[in-house]
Amino acid sequence: MQIPRLKRFLFCIFLLFGILANAQDQDTGELSLISYLQKLESQYNVKFSFVDEDLKDLKVLPVEEAELSAILRTLEKETQLRFSKLSDRYFSITPSTTLDICGFVYDNYGQNTIPGASVEVLGSPMAVLTDMEGKFTLTNIPREAHLRIRFLGFKPRYISASELINNSDCPVLLLALNYQELEEVVVYQFLTTGISREKDGSILMNIEDFGILPGLSEPDILQTIQALPGIKSIDETVSDINIRGGTNDQNLILWDGIKMYQSGHFFGLISAFNPYLTDQVTIIKNGTSPQYGDGVSGIISMETKDEVQDGIFGGGGFNLISGDMYGHIPLSNRLAVQFSARRSVTDFLNTPTYNQFFERAFQDTEVKGNNGTDEQIDREENFYFYDFTAKVLYDINAYHKLRISAIQINNNLDYLETNQATNRTNQSLLDQTNFSFGGRLSSEWSDRFSTQINAYYTRYNLDAQNIEGNGQQTLFQNNRVLESSLKALSDYELTDELLTRNGYQFTEVGITNFTDVSQPPFMSNVKGVIRSHALFSELQFKSADQKFEFLGGARLNYLQNLGTFEEIIL
């Protein structure tokens, strides 16, 4: 019967130790301020008067002091409350109007300090930055103030000042990293103003907003094109442009829908197209529409201004190479005429600019200007170029428009070399000409159906003659290309997102290569004509939100007379 008594005794011992341990924890752990004040009231026989709402969230550590005054001073420092003595036994507790607070700012990912974070008191100019340890201190701020803590790359945090007075130590405040999903950014204008990339991958040059690239004294269409990605010129000329690594003859150059075989002056150093009457230029490097039959490497399509303007406008200019002028003259509210002209001054005015261009054009050739090293040889060159364009704009009515365009480009060189010792002369003549004209009839039959008929004729001619030894030997060469084309196409919008384009094109190309040598007698004349018929069709889809675009099509070419080239050799 002793065993049950022993169990009860041990149980009481363990229970007593647990109560003592719990009491000890309560003496050393945090207490609510209200509970601690009640303990002080019973211990020192005093009374505290306060508003429960001001003290209910505050916790403190028991103060190891014997005197009540020392305990109250410590509580004032920790809680930032004001303890006022009313009598020997009664004390009042009120919140102080200002606070002194501190804190540490860390990131919530690596728990690292954030130096340089801004801590602002909202509604006042008070603000500080955290130090290298991430610590900040603010003094004499309103008790009801709110703080904003922020740093680049983190979400801002808002906290009331009263939340930072619960502890004797400066609390740690964590900032969360700010993850922001960026929207897609599409660059439409680059290099200079007026150049933008379209959604179909083509590059559009709006000449009206056209800027001048660094290194150019005035706008030049074909020089600017060479600054685009994937477009270069191996000899830095406008007449030998390489698109995506292709050769110049693999490019399709169109002016108002007319195929051009010559694109430059001064042997490719100057563009032959007036930029001030050109409205826009489209460069296609891939995804070519099947309506274009040529252009394996790329397409350069130039369009002049196509609207009948109300008033007359124009301009002119002069540099040390050439003078030019252009204009637009409305004859009625439905009829207008455009023109441009340029003529070099190099055949009667020798300028430093012309000499630099001449040296650049004929470097590493027999033609080296007037600065030859052989004093017994006189060299004389006569070079000039010109171009002009004309366009008739006629609006038959609001739905039918007729446009007729023409362009003439010419380069001429006469080079004479005389040996004073032998009185022997050599002469070289070069004449390069491109003449083209064409017409376009555009019709809108309904809101969804439209047609277009294009026709053009192009003649390219290159004459070269070399006379050596006072006429002892003469070499004459001629290269001529004649091309005519007729194209009809229609556009029909099946839906707001779906468009179909169908058409037919007939093209006839004639080529002549003629060579005549006087000594020894030799003559060669090679002629050929190719006629082609083409049917093309394409389907274009654009999503309603304009974020997706698809273009697919096919072109069927039929060459009518292969193997019909004629060759005559004497």
Using the predicted structure, report yes or no on whether residue 167 has a pLDDT greater than 60: no
pTM, full prediction: 0.66
- As a whole-number percent, the residues of the chain with pLDDT over 70 amount to 88
DSSP letters spanning 230-252 = TEE-TTS-SSS-EETT--GGGEE
Q: Locate 239 and state its tokens.
A: 């007449």
Confidence (pLDDT) at 350? 83
Give pLDDT tens digits for 143-155: 888 999 999 989 9
H or E stretch at 349: none
Angstrom CA distances, 547 to 288, 409, 542, stand at 20, 43, 8
Tell me which CATH homologous superfamily contains domain 98-175: Carboxypeptidase-like, regulatory domain (2.60.40.1120)
Place of tokens 């939340």: 163
Domain residue ranges of the chain, discontinuous segments joined by +: 25-94, 98-175, 195-569
In the 8-state DSSP scheme, what is residue 311?
S
Q: Locate 460 and state its tokens.
A: 């390219």
Domains 25-94 and 98-175 share a fold: no
Using the predicted structure, report yes or no on whether residue 517 has a pLDDT greater than 80: yes
Q: Which residues does 258 contact at the CB level (< 8 Å), separation at least 6?
A: 405, 407, 436, 437, 438, 456, 458
Rounded mean pLDDT, 163-189: 78
Selected residue with higher pLDDT from 390 and 90: 390
Angstrom CA distances, 495 to 291, 357, 447, 545, stand at 21, 55, 11, 14
- As a whole-number percent, the residues of the chain with pLDDT over 90 amount to 36
Average pLDDT, the chain: 83
**CA atoms within a 13 Å half-sphere pointing along the CA-CB vector of 480:** 15
Largest Cα separation within the chain, whole Å, is 154
Yes or no: domain 25-94 corresponds to CATH 3.55.50.30: yes
Rounded mean pLDDT, 97-101: 81
Strand partners, 490: 451, 502
Instruction: Give the model's confidence band at 22: pLDDT under 50 very low, under 70 low, under 90 confident, else very high.
Output: very low
Confidence (pLDDT) at 28? 47
Closest CA to 135 of 160, 120, 117: 117
| Cβ contact 383:346 at 8 Å | yes
Using the predicted structure, report yes or no on whether residue 395 has a pLDDT greater than 60: yes
Phi/psi of residue 37, nearest 5 degrees: -65, -40
Instruction: Give the model's confidence band at 237: pLDDT under 50 very low, under 70 low, under 90 confident, else very high.
Output: confident
H or E stretch at 435: strand 424-444
Confidence (pLDDT) at 8? 59
Using the predicted structure, report yes or no on whether residue 108 has a pLDDT greater than 80: yes
| Cβ contact 208:194 at 8 Å | yes
H or E stretch at 448: none
Using the predicted structure, report yes or no on whether residue 293 has a pLDDT greater than 90: no
Range of lowest pLDDT (269-283, 318-332, 351-365)? 351-365
Selected residue with higher pLDDT from 25 and 301: 301
Q: Locate 370 and state its tokens.
A: 């007037």
Using the predicted structure, report yes or no on whether residue 330 has a pLDDT greater than 50: yes
Confidence (pLDDT) at 385? 92
Torsion of CA 10, 11, 12, 14, to 10 degrees: 90
Report the DSSP pairing between strands 146-150 and 118-121. Answer: antiparallel
Selected residue with higher pLDDT from 499 and 221: 499
Instruction: Give the model's confidence band at 359: pLDDT under 50 very low, under 70 low, under 90 confident, else very high.
Output: confident
The CB density around residue 569, as the number of other CB atoms within 10 Å, is: 9
Angstrom CA distances, 224 to 214, 295, 342, stand at 10, 20, 20
Phi/psi of residue 354, nearest 5 degrees: -60, -40
Range of lowest pLDDT (66-80, 250-264, 402-416)? 66-80
DSSP letters spanning 117-128 = -EEEETTSS-EE
Confidence (pLDDT) at 203? 85
H or E stretch at 25: helix 2-28
